[in-house]
Amino acid sequence: MSKYRPCNLCGGEEIKFLWEKDGYEIVQCQHCHLIWTQTILDDEGFYSKDFFVGKDQLIAGYTDYTQDREILKPELKRRLTRIKESVKGGKGEKGGRLLDVGCALGFFLDEARDDFETYGVEISSFAAEYAQEKLGLQVIQGRFLEVEFEPEFFDCITFWDVIEHLPDPTLNLKKAYNLLKPDGLLVLSTGDIGSFGAKLMGRHWHLLLPPQHIYYFSQETIKKLFEKTGFEIIEIKYWGKVMTLTHFFRRLSFLFPNKPLVYLFKLIASTSLSRMRLELNLFDIMTVFANKKGIIHP
């Protein structure tokens, strides 16, 4: 019997060790090729206020996400425009109900509220309270699998940079299937470990972040996940990421902790350059659009 847990995607038990990263084992299913972190972090406390407002701390997360709304707006508008093209009635009048799973502080929901009746689910109590109190959004604090909605209630469900954090991606997408109307739209973004950059960097890939990131999908495995959970992929796009200069150097310092980088990060964080907007596209983050079409497979 393998010492590793069975594959979440195919149930396979033939598991291969790939790397050790920060004391965590990264393994791969030899049947379907899904890659994951063996140790699962299912702790709401990880996504505390420090995760979103880490200031000058060298931790996974953000420097001050509360100040990033204007910087992120072009990216949020791009996402929303593409969604409105795919959801019936999405232009002009409200195009139905939209649920954002792992909605963080609610910036995307705030952008979408003029076009959709918006709902959010967020595990972080800090982020959920911010979305509720500062932006007046309908956000439920908790885990998606534990939140109840009526079946076929939503026209669109989004998972922005969330699926890699979830202990059970398959079960989460099965729930999304049940909550979507027939032909409803599912959109998610996640790192592509099959990309050229990820293969080149190996265990040093910037999105290999255990235990925060549990699962690492490629186009091959994300297609298998969607097929298994009843979705038909419409399109896969590579849009890159928008961030501040401070966040960029903070991530570098976290991934490659050395004195010059740490000093540069802290120096930039203390100057007016800290809010400079960067848009980077390493073609290693995929955004997947899919419709509810088929049937859920066991």
How far is the C-alpha of 145 from the C-alpha of 283, rounded, in Å?
A: 31
Q: Report pLDDT digits (tens) over 40-58.
A: 866 666 787 777 776 545 4
Give the total number of structural domains in the chain.
1
Amino acid 88: pLDDT: 63
How buried is residue 257: exposed, middle or buried, by Cβ count under 10 Å (0-12/13-18/19+)? exposed
pLDDT band of residue 69 (cuts 50, 70, 90) is confident
More confident residue, 101 or 282: 101
| Domain assignment present for 94 | yes
| Domain assignment present for 9 | no
What the block records as the tokens of 234 is 């419409």
Q: Report pLDDT digits (tens) over 233-283.
A: 999 999 988 877 666 666 666 666 766 766 666 666 667 666 667 788 989
| Domain assignment present for 7 | no
Token pair 């038909």 in the structure block, residue: 232
Percent of the chain with pLDDT over 70: 82
In SS3 terms, 123-190 reads as CCHHHHHHHHHCCCCCEEECCHHHCCCCCCCEEEEEEECCHHHCCCHHHHHHHHHHHEEEEEEEEEEE
Amino acid 298: pLDDT: 78
| Domain assignment present for 96 | yes
Residues 216 and 208 sit within 8 Å (Cβ to Cβ):
yes
| pLDDT at residue 20 tops 90 | yes
| Domain assignment present for 258 | no
**CATH no. for residue 210?**
3.40.50.150
Output the pTM of the full model: 0.89
Residues 12 and 137 sit within 8 Å (Cβ to Cβ):
no
Mean pLDDT over 18-45 rounds to: 90
**Strand arrangement, sheet containing 154-160:** 139-141, 117-122, 97-101, 154-160, 180-191, 285-292, 231-237
Q: What is the mean pLDDT of the chain?
A: 88
Tell me, rounded to whole angstroms, the distance of Cα 135 from its chain centroid: 21
| Non-local CB neighbours of 268 within 8 Å, separated by 6+ positions | 245, 246, 249, 274
Amino acid 90: pLDDT: 45
| Domain assignment present for 271 | no
Amino acid 200: pLDDT: 96
How far is the C-alpha of 105 from the C-alpha of 122, rounded, in Å?
A: 9
What the block records as the tokens of 151 is 């079946």
Q: Please give the residue range of the domain that contains residue 63.
A: 15-240+281-292
| pLDDT at residue 171 tops 60 | yes
Q: What is the DSSP string of 51-118?
A: HH--TT--SSS-S-GGG-HHHHHHHHHHHHHHHHHHSTT-SSS--SEEEEET-TTSHHHHHHTTTSEE
| Domain assignment present for 50 | yes
Mean pLDDT over 215-238 rounds to: 98
Amino acid 294: pLDDT: 81
| Domain assignment present for 8 | no
